[in-house]
């Protein structure tokens, strides 16, 4: 009788313990999906890349997470008013072969249009974090020709490479624009990951200008980037350009005097595995006439810190 009671208690513990663990996992998956959904805003979209595996199936096509990030950026470039939400906060989760299939109805609004899509994410738990393996819509709602989906953007690569940054970059009081020509990238064929990205030709990015009097700026080793208008920093009447060189674990800011085709400062390197979600103002500030303060990641006594440096501009 004593052994029967012990076995019964053990069985109850196993059953309820397993159910509780499953419930905890599903709760964590729900929280991850809600956080992913909430990141689809103009302010937070730049950090969506962290939620994806190195290579994913993205609306029926194989994308690197870098390409996913570029597509998300382009979505908000095309539709700055874009919003999405999970209808009724209803999320269904099925565990399949160690992964989680998450289905939900996504309600989107853009350009005066409202539409619902039966959507899904396939999520894996790896190295104590959740990552997305697949993102798409179900066959029932396979309307990938809607302009919010990457398949509808026939000129996706051209647009993403030529996103325009406006400013007065030569000091003539007229508006110019700058854009980046990025290199073609591929994998080395051995292991598909962001760390093995190879450039088809030279691995340089080129900042070009609508004003042909301004010389191109070449940034070596850069294949994914963003531009910032830093305004006039050295009192010469022309706006300076910030160039973010984005890598899987770092973001490096270069500050260029476009009028004189000169590097003013940089690279200002941020370790994004430690110093996450930093914005431009956290890294770069104009602190006086012809003076800037920059912050970069530095390892001190085994710990990563943000170190400030004051730079006087000529």
- 175 and 137 housed in the same domain: no
Based on the fold, state whether residues 167 and 305 are members of the same structural domain: yes
53 versus 79: which is more confidently predicted?
A: 53
Domain harbouring 13, CATH code? 3.10.450.50
Compute the mean pLDDT over every residue in the chain, rounded to the nearest whole number.
Answer: 82
pLDDT tens for 120-164 read 999 999 888 999 999 999 876 666 778 899 877 655 455 545 577
Please list, in sequence order, all residues whose beta carbon lies within 8 angstroms of the beta carbon of residue 5, skipping any fewer than 6 positions away: none
* 251: containing domain: 163-312
Domain boundary among 116, 146, 176: 146
The count of domains in the chain is: 2
| Assigned domain for 158 exists | no
Contact yes or no for 119/102 (Cβ under 8 A): no
Same domain, 195 and 137: no
Residues 128 and 230 in one domain: no
In this structure, are 115 and 185 located in the same domain? Answer: no
189, 299: one domain: yes
Q: Which pLDDT tens digit goes with each residue over 239-268?
A: 999 999 988 888 899 999 999 999 988 899
39-69: pLDDT as tens digits: 998 878 878 989 999 899 999 888 888 888 8
Measured CA to CA in angstroms, residue 271 lies from 42, 266, 283, 298, 307 at distances of 23, 14, 12, 8, 12
- Give a yes or no: residue 244 inside a domain: yes
Confidence band of 103 (pLDDT split at 50, 70, 90): very high
CA 194, 195, 198, 203 dihedral sign is: positive
Within this chain, do residues 174 and 243 fall inside the same structural domain, yes or no? yes
290/171 Cα distance (integer angstroms): 16
The pTM is what? 0.50
Q: Are residues 196 and 113 in the same domain?
A: no
> Same domain, yes or no, for 170 and 241?
yes
């Amino acid at each position: 009788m004593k052994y029967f009671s012990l076995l019964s208690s053990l069985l109850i513990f196993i059953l309820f313990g397993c159910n509780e663990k499953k419930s905890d996992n599903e709760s964590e998956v729900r929280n991850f999906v809600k956080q992913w959904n909430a990141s689809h805003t103009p302010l937070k979209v730049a950090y969506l890349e962290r939620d994806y595996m190195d290579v994913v199936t993205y609306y029926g096509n194989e994308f690197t997470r870098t390409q996913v990030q570029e597509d998300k950026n382009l979505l908000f470039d095309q539709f700055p008013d874009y919003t999405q939400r999970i209808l009724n906060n209803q999320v269904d989760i099925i565990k399949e072969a160690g992964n989680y299939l998450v289905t939900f109805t996504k309600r989107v609004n853009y350009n005066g249009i409202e539409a619902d899509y039966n959507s899904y994410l396939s999520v894996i738990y790896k190295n104590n974090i959740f990552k997305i393996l697949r993102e798409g819509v179900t066959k029932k709602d396979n309307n990938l020709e809607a302009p919010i989906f990457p398949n509808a953007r026939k000129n996706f690569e051209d647009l993403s490479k030529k996103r325009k940054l406006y400013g007065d970059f030569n000091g003539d009081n007229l508006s110019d624009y700058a854009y980046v020509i990025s290199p073609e990238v591929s994998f080395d064929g051995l292991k598909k990951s962001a760390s093995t990205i190879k450039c088809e030709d030279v691995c340089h990015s080129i900042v070009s200008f609508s004003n042909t009097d301004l010389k191109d700026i070449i940034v070596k080793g850069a294949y994914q980037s963003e531009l910032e208008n830093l305004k006039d920093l050295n009192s010469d009447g022309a706006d300076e350009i910030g160039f973010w060189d984005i890598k899987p674990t770092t973001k490096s800011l270069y500050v260029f005097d476009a009028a004189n085709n000169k590097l003013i400062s940089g690279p200002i390197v941020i370790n994004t595995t430690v110093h996450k979600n930093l914005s431009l103002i956290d890294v770069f500030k104009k602190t006086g006439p012809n003076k800037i303060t920059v912050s970069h990641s530095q390892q001190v006594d085994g710990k990563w810190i943000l170190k400030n440096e004051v730079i006087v501009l000529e």
